[in-house]
Amino acid sequence: MGSDIRRAIVVGAGIAGLTTALRLRGIGWDVLLLERAPARRRGGYALTLTGGGHAAAEALGILPGLRERHFDVDLLFVNADGGRRFTLPADRAEALRGGRALNLLRGDIEDVLFTAVPDDVEVRFGATVTSIAQDEDGVRAVLDDGTTERADLLVGADGLHSAVRDLAFDVGPSVLRDLGYTVAAFSLRKLPAGLAERAVTTFSPPGRSIAVASLGRDRAAAYFIHKSSDPAGDRALGPEQTLANRYGDLGWVVPDLLGQLADTDSVYFDGVAQIAADRWHRGRVVLVGDAAWCLTPFSGYGASLSMAGADLLGTALEAEPADIPAALTAWEARLRPEADRFQTRARRAAAMHAPSTRSELLRRDFLLRAASLRPVTHVLAHLSRH
Ligand SMILES: Cc1cc2nc3c(=O)[nH]c(=O)nc-3n(C[C@H](O)[C@H](O)[C@H](O)COP(=O)(O)OP(=O)(O)OC[C@H]3O[C@@H](n4cnc5c(N)ncnc54)[C@H](O)[C@@H]3O)c2cc1C
């Protein structure tokens, strides 16, 4: 590119894209961040940031901002009438996750990252790429407004259905490994009456699960997951119709949640699928986060690995500034075993999230009840750190 200052185009302003922008700017790169949505996404769903994600947040200096928004939550499991089956208290749940865990809304993480990204990072909303070409000197991206941008590196952080992956990797839909579930998650205006504050309350009728997370300060989110033989058909039908069809027979707080879906400002609705791409970089184009390795909600680690992976990308580029493809090769070699491990774990955990049969439900309950016993928590916490 003729100058010593490196330039990156980052596509997607989710957790992976924002972390990449922050990290690359921190090592002196110029960054252009493109986000398809017309404005910042808010709220979203509840998630836990842990492990490498927690460590990356610390390294990036955003841990204090995230801690301010964290709330300890008890995990409550209930029957169809809301009666308590059992509870996993907050301290045990946290110990199981290795003790360094933050319960947040996805929007909290994006908010804190966005605030930390310096003002000299150009962010364009309502913008995306329509073609990508590269040679030995750089990458050329044509944007949807017809303009062209050049850079040393293009980062596809545009999620599960990545356009960058389609444009630059020639892999097609076969990289999507469908796990046979559909998930909907959205923020709530109001916690339904009778539900505990600062808790995640879960009800699991066969093949389905409904959870409501209350994270304090009037922040609450709902999560629906069901086994589906046709996640693409569910997507085509849309969240309101699909959830009405699949959950309309249920009582408890479900009618209230379905009512709130109609006017929420942020719904995540998709099939549960992993990305099984045999490479995450090609020349000067690299995929990060769900675009590269999507772990799914079943792993409980997608946001964490998005943040850790983006942070590590900065480390790899800093270590090998003169040879970007070599830096990307080293980065991928370092990260792939962890992504593979969490993808495997997620596939194994699927039945825990939406038990289909009574025996699966009893097994899940048994494992969680056992995990809540203090000596067992201690051993599992130790194992989860290794
Ligand atoms: C219900 C649920 C619960 C979860 N729980 C956890 C948990 O407890 N712990 C955990 O660590 N992870 C969890 N995850 C996973 C985690 O949320 C994701 O792995 C993570 O958010 C992925 O971030 P990302 O930036 O890679 O992708 P995304 O969040 O999908 O962001 C992609 C961004 O790119 C934008 N975009 C898309 N296409 C284009 C385009 N063509 N051009 C420009 N921009 C584009 C999108 O608008 C978006 O802003 C959960 C996920 C779900 C759905």
CA distance 198 to 212: 10
C-alpha 82 to ligand 1 mean position (Å): 31
Same domain, 320 and 380: no
Same domain, 188 and 334: no
Same domain, 223 and 366: yes
CA distance 207 to 185: 17
Same domain, 149 and 43: yes
Find the domain containing 243 and state its range. 177-273+353-384
Residues in the chain: 386
CA distance 348 to 264: 32
Q: Does 14 sit in the ligand 1 pocket, CB within 6 Å? A: yes
* Tokens read off for 384: 């989860």
C-alpha 291 to ligand 1 mean position (Å): 9
Neighbour tally for 111: CB within 10 Å: 20
Same domain, 131 and 228: no
pLDDT of residue 320: 93
Beta carbons of 351 and 225 less than 8 angstroms apart? no
pLDDT of residue 386: 47
Looking at residue 241, which CATH number applies to its domain?
Answer: 3.30.9.30
Position in ligand 1 atom list of the atom nearest CA 303: 11
Number of compact structural domains in the chain: 2
| 2 is a domain residue | no
Neighbour order of strands in the sheet with 7-11: 122-125, 30-35, 7-11, 153-156, 285-287, 281-282
Low-confidence ranges of the chain (pLDDT < 70): 1-3, 97-99, 371-386
Position in ligand 1 atom list of the atom nearest CA 295: 19
Secondary element (H or E) of residue 114:
helix 106-116
Q: What are phi and psi of 109, to 5 degrees?
A: -65, -45
Looking at residue 140, which CATH number applies to its domain?
Answer: 3.50.50.60
C-alpha 378 to ligand 1 mean position (Å): 31
Number of Cα atoms under 13 Å in the Cβ half of residue 384: 23
pLDDT of residue 137: 87
Residue nearest to atom 41 of ligand 1 (CA): 163
Q: What is the pTM of this model?
A: 0.93
Residue nearest to atom 23 of ligand 1 (CA): 15
Q: Does 107 sit in the ligand 1 pocket, CB within 6 Å? A: no
Q: Does 12 sit in the ligand 1 pocket, CB within 6 Å? A: yes
